[in-house]
Chain A
């Protein structure tokens, strides 16, 4: 089957099943005729010849898999000298160290997170995509696009995602989007550096906002002086400030009471001093904000609707906070989720294609019979599709679980890029690699043996599945 053949002909044998399933079907469905228990002495068959065919494979499997397995099990029971030589027999001590040493314990914890979160998430995502694309005309293109990351190296994927995770907001796509979204929903401060010079006019802090001591009534201009504007590169929203003489309602000016080179009178608007355009100003009566406005670029603002009464004026906290600078994706808090997201990007297509193949293999008759019987689409999915799909979902989940257990490349690459906070992202395979590099062979072997022990259930599952299919 190919991605391009996602749609099986009605009634025809499922094109979408995997070669594995197909191969199994051949050996089983074919019945006795296909079953090959070659009779003894079949003409021309030389049984000793089997070993000629098998020899290269057995030599390689023995040298690269079986011997290392035995070696590692034995080696994991011995401690190391600093240069990696065998020091002494320590029993299971190395295994205990995995769970007591803080670095490898971090790796164990992360592996648990990975196992709990990632296979489930990817299986669900794969199922959703497989269901949604079942009858989309461009499903082929969609599946190709999603499957593509499977073909490229984890290194290339890691570099690709490093361009997204760069924590300089202007470089990384992730932060560019995060900041865009953040600024859409909450306005960021135009002047994070400005503040009152002293407490003569205002009371408060940058966190609570600054409120005037004095109350203002319509007719008199309120002068709200601040300092701290970057005068060498003043923002384009600022211009020469002008003190208003008249205005409607409560009015005034909010400006930077300092000019380049100094001079001027404190508390009055002088030439060279700039209005803080866009600064939010609130009118407050009895601790209640009754009106909000924004200053023009010359600093002037007014509340035309406030025609009587007295009001305190407040510059809200949002005007002073530091602007949102995005997230530190590869920092200690987010690095593991960030790597998981990369892994999800790589494997979602795999899950989708496998599940789509399983769905295509479901006999159409069963679905149609249910529909003819008046079952709702949800019931069909719940009662027919889901149970028939369960074995495939199981295969996807187990495959992902095994892969996640051994995950190395993606983690290692993004750790390299992250630098400082990398240790927070350790997983067992990385821990093993580092111990190997440090010539702590006993410890590294113990981690390797632990990984093997953890895949034993999958091993048994595979063997059972095979034996069942053979009988």
Chain B
């Protein structure tokens, strides 16, 4: 049903919804203008950041980014070329990748294995253990900062990339197990029975049957977790050190001198958001699924 408000009115269809009625009363124009304004309110801040990131920082003191629209001469790529020469920023960007990718893959692997066990293996205490996982979904990460940092000290991994990764894996797991268990449980049991009849091992069933069939859920989880870790500030702020800090931490240090650091902050923030944005736009479907399913977190 792709009919529009307008054609609904023409055909007198009973599908007229509330918006159609509003549109009919106001000639549709008011509603459209309102929604365009709202969309602009949501777009303009990010566009402003983009323009500012290409602006000669000396101009910041004289006025906001919109002045560059009238005076394109203010625009320059030097912020970005300087940023790429800034070794603390580039190494932070690399760290972001080095944290996000393993943290995502590990959550998928460990979560899927547990999800499979919860969905398809009848072991004693299964239901209670799964309720525990559901209970852990909403635990705030703040509770773990102190004990885990002490744990890391005693393990000798304080400040390392690994320490940041492991924390993200731990807090990513309840949701991963919850999502994948529910999805795996929907796989027709005949398929698994057949595989078991054929004498396939549990490992083989997991890798050859369950994981491939569960791909949509795995993709959602992966993208959700990737963006979560990529965008994280608090965990890295607590556990990373100078050499393992991701881009979010590298930039937060500059925000205290906002005006004078604008030549790093604006392009840095834009670089840090462009990857998630591309991932979001490319895999919108999966990301939205992940977020919707994550609405228990």
Contacts and interface: CB of A to CB of B under 8 A. Distances in A.
Given A37-B122, A61-B136, A69-B139, A3 B272 contact: no
B209 interface: no
Interface in A139-183: 141-142, 144-164, 166, 168, 170-173, 176
A19 B289 CA distance: 6
Interface string B233-264: 11001100000000010011001101100000
B94 interface: no
Interface string B250-283: 0110011011000001100110110011011100
Contacts of B60: 171
Contact of B45 (A142, A168, A345): A345
Interface residues of A, number: 135
B197 A43 contact: yes
Secondary structure at the A interface, as helix, strand, loop or mixed, is helix
A159 B114 CA distance: 39
A457 to B, nearest CB: 9
A462 interface: yes
A371 to B, nearest CB: 5
Contacts of B79: none
A36 B293 CA distance: 22
B179 to A, nearest CB: 7
Interface in B142-169: 142-148, 150-151, 166-167, 169
B182 A27 contact: yes
Contacts of B97: none
B29 interface: no
A75 interface: yes
B138 A455 contact: yes
Nearest to A58: B114
B110 interface: yes
B247 to A, nearest CB: 8
- For the side of the interface on B, what is the size category? 35 or more
B295 A53 contact: no
B42 A148 contact: yes
A67 B146 CA distance: 11
A163 B137 contact: no
A72 interface: yes
Interface string B203-219: 00010000000001100
B147 A463 contact: no
Interface string A179-207: 00000000000000000000000000000
Nearest to B289: A19
Contacts of B120: 36, 38
Given A38-B120, A148-B277, A27 B295 contact: no
Contacts of A380: 18
A381 interface: yes
Interface stretch (B31-39, B70-78, B83-91): B31-39
6 contacts: A19-B220, A173-B45, A354-B295, A377-B21, A417-B255, A451-B140
Given A43-B196, A51-B123, A467-B131, 4 more contacts: A54-B113, A133-B19, A160-B46, A173-B45
Lowest 10 A-B CB distances belong to which pairs? A64-B170, A26-B186, A44-B196, A153-B231, A18-B292, A151-B280, A23-B182, A2-B285, A57-B114, A68-B144
Interface of B: 1-5, 8, 14-22, 31-32, 34-35, 38-39, 41-46, 48-49, 52, 60-66, 109-111, 113-114, 116-123, 126, 129, 131, 133-148, 150-151, 166-167, 169-171, 173-174, 177, 179, 182-183, 185-186, 188-189, 193, 195-197, 199-202, 206, 216-217, 220, 227, 230-234, 237-238, 248, 251-252, 255-256, 258-259, 265-266, 269-270, 272-273, 276-277, 279-281, 284-285, 287-293, 295-297
